[in-house]
Amino acid sequence: MDFGFDPHQSRLRARIRAVLATPGVRRAIDDLAAGTGEPDERPLYRAIGAAGVLAPDWPAEFGGLGGGPMSLAVVAEELSRAGVPDTLHINTVQIVGSVLRAIGAADQQRRWLPRFAAGERFACVLYTEPEAGSDLAALTTRAEPAPGGYLVSGTKIYSLKAALCDVALAAVRTGDPGSRYDGITLVLIDLHAPGVRVARMPSLADEHFHRVELDAVFVPESDVLGEPGAGWAALTTALAMERTGLDYALKAARWYDTARAALTPGDAADSLADLGRHGARADAARLLAWAALARLEEDRFDPVFAAMAKLHTSESAAAVAEWGAALHGAAAAPATGRARCLESAWREAPGLTISAGVSEVMLELIAGSLSGSAR
């Protein structure tokens, strides 16, 4: 792996930094930082999207810059360093946008991708269900045939940012499956359509999870992604591509830098061993994430390597958050500034080892590859 950046990536990094330094964008970032609770970053994303840098890996016709996964990672890294919340970007561009590019019809791509890239519309994911958990093959949300499309009924849980989004990528069942993996279809659901109810779920983190109840929601045939009943392969590929670990590595780096910056010289001397250990862990997480991204860039994606990246980066971010909060007493007495950031990280961290695949499932994938039994 080449640990440097090519000229295109270096120019892109300079470009996004210039966008983030403009007065309007900087003011929007500061306004979010001054608030409490879950931020509404849509105005900020519209300001950034107007500069055409939110989806640099997409073709120009969709509002992108024609780069690859490494270009997207450069932008994500700079957004994180500037203090831009990442969930809407991850869900809209990196997950839903990637699925649309992979299996979406031309009219679906033209309808949604330019608006995603401009920060005008936002998307979330509806996979998990109350009785299915991480076992997506056990999902039960039904899509019954109706004139011109389907009527979708069921309940999805643990959806981030659903209350702020316009559309959701949902996994549903169409027809009777021949096996657990048959009959699953991916659809786009208008979250403002009749029959959709979005309710906040209790959560420790600042960002809220949502429960989305679907009661005979009409989904036109034009909003079905790929072939009906053939969604499992696309779903597993999409999940694996979420596991580069970059977003977790960025959190680990941000939380480590925050904890280190809050130390006095005396505290730093007393905590030297922990500083070195957690700093090395954060650096290793970043290198592992970039290695996974390099494989994507070279079109040699490896789901087992991705599982390794997701496991290490999410566990590292959680460890850094716990250390930083304990070091500064942030969990017991959150105040303002750095202490509040670390207290928020401490509450968010446990969820990182669950989202995009729980650590135990990642371990199973890795162990299965070593024994030759991985699917």
What is the spatial distance between Cα 94 and Cα 121, in angstroms, rounded to a whole number?
14
**Quick one: 364 and 251 in the same domain?**
yes
Give me the number of domains the chain comprises. Answer: 3
| Residue 114 belongs to a domain | yes
pLDDT at 4: 66
pLDDT at 321: 93
**Quick one: 221 and 260 in the same domain?**
no
CATH number at residue 257: 1.20.140.10
- What DSSP string describes 307-348? HHHHHHHHHHHHHHHHHHHHHHTTTTS--SHHHHHHHHHHHH
CATH number at residue 193: 2.40.110.10
Torsion of CA 24, 26, 28, 30, to 10 degrees: -150
Mean pLDDT throughout 189-217?
Answer: 92
**Better pLDDT: 6 or 113:** 113
| Residue 57 belongs to a domain | yes
**Quick one: 273 and 201 in the same domain?**
no
Burial grade of 323 (CB within 10 A; 0-12, 13-18, 19 or more): buried
For tokens 């700093």, the residue is: 279
* Alpha-carbon torsion (173, 175, 177, 183), positive or negative: negative
pTM of the model: 0.86
Average the pLDDT over each of 63-72, 171-180, 244-253 and give the range with the smallest value: 171-180
Contacts for 366 with CB less than 8 Å, ≥ 6 apart: 304, 307, 308, 311
Q: Residue 275 pLDDT > 70, yes or no?
A: yes
pLDDT at 216: 97
pLDDT at 7: 83
Q: Residue 6 pLDDT > 90, yes or no?
A: no
pLDDT at 1: 47
pLDDT at 150: 97
**Quick one: 26 and 99 in the same domain?**
yes
157-169: pLDDT as tens digits: 989 899 999 999 9
**pLDDT band at residue 30 using 50, 70 and 90 as cut-offs:** confident
322-372: pLDDT as tens digits: 998 888 776 555 555 677 788 888 888 888 888 777 888 889 889 988 876
Mean pLDDT throughout 266-290?
Answer: 86
**Quick one: 159 and 95 in the same domain?**
no
Average the pLDDT over each of 13-17, 38-42, 156-160, 176-180 and give the range with the smallest value: 176-180
What is the spatial distance between Cα 195 and Cα 285, in angstroms, rounded to a whole number?
42
| Residue 278 belongs to a domain | yes
| Residue 54 belongs to a domain | yes
Whole-angstrom CA distances from 323 to 89, 91, 331 are 27, 28, 10
**Quick one: 153 and 110 in the same domain?**
no
**Quick one: 274 and 175 in the same domain?**
no
| Residue 2 belongs to a domain | no
**Quick one: 198 and 260 in the same domain?**
no
**Quick one: 249 and 367 in the same domain?**
yes
CATH number at residue 19: 1.10.540.10
User: Of 99, 122, 145, which one is at a domain's C-terminal end?
Assistant: 122
What is the spatial distance between Cα 188 and Cα 167, in angstroms, rounded to a whole number?
6
**Better pLDDT: 131 or 156:** 156
**Quick one: 34 and 133 in the same domain?**
no
Nearest to 240 by CA among 309, 157, 341: 309
pLDDT at 337: 65
User: Of 60, 95, 122, which one is at a domain's C-terminal end?
Assistant: 122
Mean pLDDT throughout 29-58?
Answer: 86
**pLDDT band at residue 197 using 50, 70 and 90 as cut-offs:** very high
The whole-angstrom distance between residue 237's C-alpha and the CA centroid of its chain comes to 15
| Residue 235 belongs to a domain | no
**Quick one: 365 and 254 in the same domain?**
yes
Domain that holds residue 171: 125-228
**Quick one: 116 and 150 in the same domain?**
no
89-121: pLDDT as tens digits: 999 999 999 999 989 999 999 999 999 999 999
**pLDDT band at residue 3 using 50, 70 and 90 as cut-offs:** low
| Residue 198 belongs to a domain | yes
| Residue 234 belongs to a domain | no
- The amino acid at 123: A
pLDDT at 374: 46
Torsion of CA 123, 247, 16, 337, to 10 degrees: 100
Let me know: does 233 contact 225? Beta carbons within 8 Å.
no
